[in-house]
A and B are shown apart, each in its own frame.
Chain A
Amino acid sequence: MILARKDILGIKELSKDEIVLILDTADSFIEISTREIKKVPTLRGKTVINLFYEASTRTRTSFEIAGKRLSADTINISASTSSVVKGETILDTARNLEAMNPDVIVIRHSAAGAPHMLASMVKQSIINAGDGAHEHPTQALLDMMTIRAKKGRLENLKVTIVGDIAHSRVARSNIYGLKKMGAQVTVAGPATMIPKDIEQMGVNVHSSLDEAIKEVDVIMMLRIQIERQHQNIFPSLREYAQRFCLSKKNISLAKKDVLVMHPGPINRGVEISPDIADGPYSVILDQVTNGVAVRMALLYLLTGGKA
């Protein structure tokens, strides 16, 4: 099977079959990262540009390692070092990059829709590495890969996502993906963090953490951005932590074999207590490991690889 699309802009556009194809391919790539020599020649001669308009350590490094393990040439461009500071528009940057004939452009941008704009302008494959509060498809794929590896399935699992859903691209991509794969999704947070009409995405909404995690298979905690306090989305980190921090006190409400996930970077003691983040339920580092495999799979499939 091949992935018959030019770009990965969001999970919304992907079919269930495509998601399964990507996850299966990623599973097969896991082993490469455990070898003594962590490199295969699959993408030799291919060029991957990581165009990051927004700060990122984890995602950018993960894409870079994914490319390198497949022997692609990877180039990182970050907004602070590129011509962005000179006032070049994203389209001019894109046209210039296009003229250098890369094979894949990975883009992260603080503005929703920026990857879509890029994809319509250049002939290269575009992978969305996060656009504003819109989508973060590779994160959702690595999350689904992690859940599937631990639980053996995604179908009929109960998954709860907790935190600032309104500003979260991770939440949106996971909702699309998990729903397509047959999971039941609940979102939880104070009403100020729940975007308008989210029920129409087919999720349950709770404003109590205890209610939201009762008997669930998976809990995904989202990072609370301290800057948002100034927008009065929550009164204080102290109060937020009192109401929504996942800790020993409340984790027992979930199923005994619950998985605790977090896209990182975590605020210890705010949305998640250290003993939970480092404890037996946590698969946070598995997520990071699987992230490399998922990104390898996408680079491979988008450059014409067969699964």
Chain B
Amino acid sequence: MNWLIKGARIIDPSQHIDGPMDILIEDGKVVKLGQNLSASRKKGITGMDLAGFVVTPGLVDMHTHLREPGFEYKETIQTGSEAACAGGFTSIACMANTNPVNDTRSVTEFILRKAAETNLVNVYPIAAITLQSQGKSLAEFWDLKEAGAIALSDDGKPVLDSAIMRRALEYADSLGLLIISHCEDTSLSSGGAMNEGFPSTELGLPGIPGLAEDIMVARDLLLAEYTRSSIHIAHVSTAGSVRLIRDAKARGIKVTAETAPHYFTLTDEDLRTYDVNAKVYPPLRGKHDVEAIKEGLRDGTIDAITSDHAPHALTDKEVEFEYAASGMIGLETSLALSLRLVAAETLTLSQLIDKMSTRPAMILGITGGSLRPGLPADLTIIDLERSWTVSCEAIRSRSKNTPFLGRNLTGKAVLTMKGGVVTYNELHNCHDHPRHS
């Protein structure tokens, strides 16, 4: 498809662009950005007048759980991709904790084949660091990379053994593969159901101290420094982690970090009603942590915002709080929740798009996160004013586990385009008309 987008505010952090501009797209690629572009003589160019909208490089989520293979009742590559498109994402990286675990070429290939059949988003498999993510023996990193894995993580579980983490960092770095670390000292966290603090004391729920994260972040930073490897810290949730990562960056350690919208939107006070949908790992922390996360985003300590989209079926959640599965979906709410940082002037819109598109693509070393001419036309059209309500009916993910159900949010991806093909479109739904799907 060929498109001429006119009148929109274009934000592309990769080219330091933020302003009104036109974009010409031909044969699925960005051809030109500029003022007053007109369609070339080519046939079949569709014009889009997007005055009042924002156009950004397609959003990139470097931390999702697609649950396939193995947990198709929670999510599939198809339903997860649909949710991603609705959330404005054109590329997503999926974690390895499927069943079987993505620790071998065949699983990586399976995911890529399914994703190609679905063909709604670019799906990038993250393979396991250790076999079955048991933390005992390294997976075949080279073979996994050859098969298409773009990073390594035992996400959901930490690599407890420091010697194995050291070897993983060394071996992966030599292959140019990034290790994404789920930082958790399980001797401090096991049995816990929520953040340890005054709310856990009042609720009588076993606590998980922020320390369980901080200690592992500190260890991993030391290992990365010693081995001179790169490391990426997943789902940062504590003030302690932010401080450690900030110091490490200042000392030149090759570390990048991400957080998820719930860690700067909610606190452990939001568990007062024993809402199982707010049970997540790492757990929602205190106010002080939320402030530190925001500061970390503002000063660049935290590079990326990811959804940590973790679908769970009602049967996994509709049980006693302590027994409920941890995790919440996020692909469809990430953008709106993150836009609140812009409204609060924590980040500029350009900085936000950097953290949700350009930077994650750079960290993973994948195409995307840019509207540079010649690149595939992966882009997201955002209506900053659109007000919408999170509802089970509207959620495209197979699972509906979000504590934001019923919440009114402002700002939404209204059109998503991958390689010049529209993968999601609610552009013409006006505020006062019910949405059709």
**8 A Cβ contacts from B64-85 to A:** none
With a CB–CB cut-off of 8 A, which chain B residues contact A91? 318-319
Q: Does B201 contact A (CB under 8 A)?
A: yes
Interface size classification for chain A: 20 to 34
Complex CA distance for A196 and B319, rounded to whole angstroms: 26
Interface size classification for chain B: 20 to 34
> Cβ of A113 and Cβ of B202 under 8 Å apart?
no
> Cβ of B207 and Cβ of A117 under 8 Å apart?
no
> Cβ of B322 and Cβ of A200 under 8 Å apart?
no
Q: A89-B318, A113-B274 are in contact. Are A198 and B201 (CB under 8 A)?
A: yes
Q: A112-B203, A132-B205, A133-B204 are in contact. Are A200 and B198 (CB under 8 A)?
A: yes
With a CB–CB cut-off of 8 A, which chain B residues contact A89? 318-319
Q: A111-B322, A132-B322 are in contact. Are A116 and B196 (CB under 8 A)?
A: no
**8 A Cβ contacts from B161-216 to A:** 196-198, 200-207, 209
Complex CA distance for A8 and B274, rounded to whole angstroms: 16
Q: Which residue of B lies closest to A134 (CB)?
A: B204
Q: Does A69 contact B (CB under 8 A)?
A: no
> Cβ of B319 and Cβ of A172 under 8 Å apart?
no
Determine how close the nearest CB of chain B comes to the CB of A83; give it in whole angstroms: 15
Q: Does A164 contact B (CB under 8 A)?
A: no
With a CB–CB cut-off of 8 A, which chain A residues contact B321? 111-114, 117
> Cβ of B320 and Cβ of A109 under 8 Å apart?
yes
Q: A90-B319, A91-B318, A132-B322 are in contact. Are A116 and B201 (CB under 8 A)?
A: no
Q: A89-B319, A109-B320, A114-B320 are in contact. Are A196 and B196 (CB under 8 A)?
A: yes
Q: Does A36 contact B (CB under 8 A)?
A: no
Complex CA distance for A114 and B322, rounded to whole angstroms: 9
With a CB–CB cut-off of 8 A, which chain B residues contact A109? 320
**8 A Cβ contacts from B248-295 to A:** 273-274
Determine how close the nearest CB of chain B comes to the CB of A79; give it in whole angstroms: 12
Q: Does A169 contact B (CB under 8 A)?
A: yes
> Cβ of B204 and Cβ of A131 under 8 Å apart?
yes
With a CB–CB cut-off of 8 A, which chain A residues contact B196? 196
> Cβ of A112 and Cβ of B205 under 8 Å apart?
yes
Q: Does B226 contact A (CB under 8 A)?
A: no
State which of A116, A117, A172 has its C-beta within 8 Å of the C-beta of B202: A172
Q: Does A149 contact B (CB under 8 A)?
A: no
With a CB–CB cut-off of 8 A, which chain B residues contact A172? 202, 204
> Cβ of A196 and Cβ of B204 under 8 Å apart?
no
**8 A Cβ contacts from A96-136 to B:** 109, 111-114, 116-117, 131-135
> Cβ of B320 and Cβ of A113 under 8 Å apart?
yes
Q: Which residue of A lies closest to B207 (CB)?
A: A196
Q: Does A6 contact B (CB under 8 A)?
A: no
Complex CA distance for A91 and B320, rounded to whole angstroms: 9
State which of A117, A135, A166, A197 has its C-beta within 8 Å of the C-beta of B198: A197
**Most A CB atoms within 10 A — which of B203, B205, B322?**
B203
Complex CA distance for A109 and B322, rounded to whole angstroms: 11
State which of B201, B319, B320, B322 has its C-beta within 8 Å of the C-beta of A195: B201
Complex CA distance for A77 and B203, rounded to whole angstroms: 26
Q: Which residue of A lies closest to B199 (CB)?
A: A197
With a CB–CB cut-off of 8 A, which chain B residues contact A134? 203-205
Q: Does A214 contact B (CB under 8 A)?
A: no
Complex CA distance for A202 and B203, rounded to whole angstroms: 16
Q: Does A55 contact B (CB under 8 A)?
A: no
**8 A Cβ contacts from B205-259 to A:** 205-207, 209
> Cβ of A132 and Cβ of B274 under 8 Å apart?
no
With a CB–CB cut-off of 8 A, which chain B residues contact A131? 204
> Cβ of B318 and Cβ of A196 under 8 Å apart?
no
With a CB–CB cut-off of 8 A, which chain B residues contact A133? 204-206
With a CB–CB cut-off of 8 A, which chain B residues contact A195? 200-201, 207
> Cβ of B205 and Cβ of A113 under 8 Å apart?
yes
**Most A CB atoms within 10 A — which of B205, B274, B319?**
B274
> Cβ of B204 and Cβ of A197 under 8 Å apart?
no
Complex CA distance for A111 and B279, rounded to whole angstroms: 14
> Cβ of B198 and Cβ of A196 under 8 Å apart?
yes
Determine how close the nearest CB of chain A comes to the CB of B244; give it in whole angstroms: 21
> Cβ of B201 and Cβ of A197 under 8 Å apart?
yes
Q: Which residue of B lies closest to A90 (CB)?
A: B320
Determine how close the nearest CB of chain A comes to the CB of B223; give it in whole angstroms: 28
Complex CA distance for A166 and B196, rounded to whole angstroms: 12
> Cβ of A196 and Cβ of B201 under 8 Å apart?
yes
> Cβ of A117 and Cβ of B204 under 8 Å apart?
no
With a CB–CB cut-off of 8 A, which chain A residues contact B273? 116
Q: Which residue of A lies closest to B319 (CB)?
A: A89
12 sampled A-B residue pairs with Cβ under 8 A: A90-B320, A111-B320, A112-B322, A113-B320, A113-B321, A132-B204, A132-B205, A133-B206, A169-B204, A196-B197, A197-B197, A201-B202
